[in-house]
C-alpha cells in the first residue's frame, strides 16, 4: 500500500501531520506522492477537494481518507486525536470503498476546442458585472431561456455545498442525479425561468449555451475565465471519488452532524 499525505499549513494540522508520519513510518508504510493508493488529507473539506484535483487523473485507483483539524468537515471522517485508530483501521481493514458521483464538464469553444473538467461538488457559470443570458437544454431539448446572475450544477454530495445556499435540495449520493439551481434569476413579463431547482436522472444531461463572449466558470470554487465558449455540457461522470469505508459515516448522519448537530445514533441513517 502506497500512501501520501495532503494538508494545509495551520499549526494544528502540521502537528497532526508530524504525528501521522511518525505512526506510518513505524508501520513501515511506503510513501509515494506520485502514484499513491491512498491519499490521506489533513485539514478540512477544502484540503480534500484540492487533493482530489491533484490526483483526478488517477481517480479510479486512488482512495481518500479525510482527517479534520478545525471545524467539522463534510468529507472528513476522522478527528486529529483519532489518527492512531485511523491508521490501525487502514492497515487491518479491507472492503469495498464508498463511492460518490462526480460531475463531468465538457466545454466546446467557438474554435472547436473541447475542454474537460471533473468536479466533486459543483460547477457554476456566472458573469461578474452584468447579468448572464443563456439557453438551457435538457437532453438537447430547449428547456428555458435564463437571465440572472448565473447557474449552478451540482453533484448529490455537492448538494450540501453552494447549491444548498442557493435553495437547492439535499440529495442522497446513491441517486446519482444532477441538480441545477438558479443564481438570482430575473423573472418578469419579458424574462421567465422555472425559478426553482431541477433534478435530472443519471442518464440525462444539461447543456448551457451562454449568450456572452466572456463569463466566469467555477469548478469546485476554482475560477476559470472563459472567452468564446460555444456550449457547456454537464453529466454524471463514469468516474467516482472513492473513500475508505471504515469510519465513513452514513450520508444523512453527515448532513445532520454538519448542519443540525451530532447524530445520536449513526446506525439510524442509511
Are both 81 and 189 inside the same structural domain? no
The CATH number given to whatever domain includes residue 207 is 2.60.200.30
Whether 266 is in a domain gets the answer no
Whether 107 is in a domain gets the answer yes
Query: Which of 243, 217, 211 is CA-nearest to residue 230?
Result: 211
Whether 265 is in a domain gets the answer no
Cell of 50: 484540492
Are both 135 and 190 inside the same structural domain? yes
Are both 75 and 136 inside the same structural domain? no
Whether 145 is in a domain gets the answer yes
On whether 149 is known to bind a ligand per the annotation, the reply is yes
On whether 164 is known to bind a ligand per the annotation, the reply is yes
Are both 108 and 224 inside the same structural domain? yes
Averaged pLDDT, 209-215? 91
- Residue 45 falls in the annotated catalytic set: yes
Residue 174 is part of which domain span? Answer: 101-238
Confirm if 82 and 96 have CB atoms less than 8 A apart.
no
The CATH number given to whatever domain includes residue 3 is 3.40.50.10330
Averaged pLDDT, 198-222? 95
Whether 254 is in a domain gets the answer yes
pLDDT in tens, 150-203: 999 999 999 999 999 999 999 998 899 999 999 999 998 888 899 999 999 999
Q: Looking at residue 234, what is its pLDDT?
A: 98
Domain tally, the chain: 2
Are both 116 and 220 inside the same structural domain? yes
Whether 270 is in a domain gets the answer no
Average pLDDT, the chain: 91
On whether 163 is known to bind a ligand per the annotation, the reply is yes
Cell of 256: 445532520
Are both 55 and 120 inside the same structural domain? no
Are both 254 and 221 inside the same structural domain? no
On whether 22 is known to bind a ligand per the annotation, the reply is no
Averaged pLDDT, 250-259? 83
The C-alpha atoms of residue 167 and residue 116 are separated, in whole angstroms, by 27
Binning pLDDT at 50, 70 and 90, where does residue 23 land?
Answer: very high
Are both 57 and 24 inside the same structural domain? yes
Are both 88 and 123 inside the same structural domain? no
Whether 196 is in a domain gets the answer yes
Are both 171 and 55 inside the same structural domain? no
Whether 268 is in a domain gets the answer no
On whether 46 is known to bind a ligand per the annotation, the reply is yes
On whether 34 is known to bind a ligand per the annotation, the reply is no
Are both 113 and 233 inside the same structural domain? yes
pLDDT in tens, 155-168: 999 999 999 999 99
Catalytically annotated residue among 22, 32, 45, 84: 45
Are both 249 and 226 inside the same structural domain? no
Q: Looking at residue 25, what is its pLDDT?
A: 95
The pTM of the full predicted model, rounded to 2 decimals, is 0.90
Amino acid at each position: 500500500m502506497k500512501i501520501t499525505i495532503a494538508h494545509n499549513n495551520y499549526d494544528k494540522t502540521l502537528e497532526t501531520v508530524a504525528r501521522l508520519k511518525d505512526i506510518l513510518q513505524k508501520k513501515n508504510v511506503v510513501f509515494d506522492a506520485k502514484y499513491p493508493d491512498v491519499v490521506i488529507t489533513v485539514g478540512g473539506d477544502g484540503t480534500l477537494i484540492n487533493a482530489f484535483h491533484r490526483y483526478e487523473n488517477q481517480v479510479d485507483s486512488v482512495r481518500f481518507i479525510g482527517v479534520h483539524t478545525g471545524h467539522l468537515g463534510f468529507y472528513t471522517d476522522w478527528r486529529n486525536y483519532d489518527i492512531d485508530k485511523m491508521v490501525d483501521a487502514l492497515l487491518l481493514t479491507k472492503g469495498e470503498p464508498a463511492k460518490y458521483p462526480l460531475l463531468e464538464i465538457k466545454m466546446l469553444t467557438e474554435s472547436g476546442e473541447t475542454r474537460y473538467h471533473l468536479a466533486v461538488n459543483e460547477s457554476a457559470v456566472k458573469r461578474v458585472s452584468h447579468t448572464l443570458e443563456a439557453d438551457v437544454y435538457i437532453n438537447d431539448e430547449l428547456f428555458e431561456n435564463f437571465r440572472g446572475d448565473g447557474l449552478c450544477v451540482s453533484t448529490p454530495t455537492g448538494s450540501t455545498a453552494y447549491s444548498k445556499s442557493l435553495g437547492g435540495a439535499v440529495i442522497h449520493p446513491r441517486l446519482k442525479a444532477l441538480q441545477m439551481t438558479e443564481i438570482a434569476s430575473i423573472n418578469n413579463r419579458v424574462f421567465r425561468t422555472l425559478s426553482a431547482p431541477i433534478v435530472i436522472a443519471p442518464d440525462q444531461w444539461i447543456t448551457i449555451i451562454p449568450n456572452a463572449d466572456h463569463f466566469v466558470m467555477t469548478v469546485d470554487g476554482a475560477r476559470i475565465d472563459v472567452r468564446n465558449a460555444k456550449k457547456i455540457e454537464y453529466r454524471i461522470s463514469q468516474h467516482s471519488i472513492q473513500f475508505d469505508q471504515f469510519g465513513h459515516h452514513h450520508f444523512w448522519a453527515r448532513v445532520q452532524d454538519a448542519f443540525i448537530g451530532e447524530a445520536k445514533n449513526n446506525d439510524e441513517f442509511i
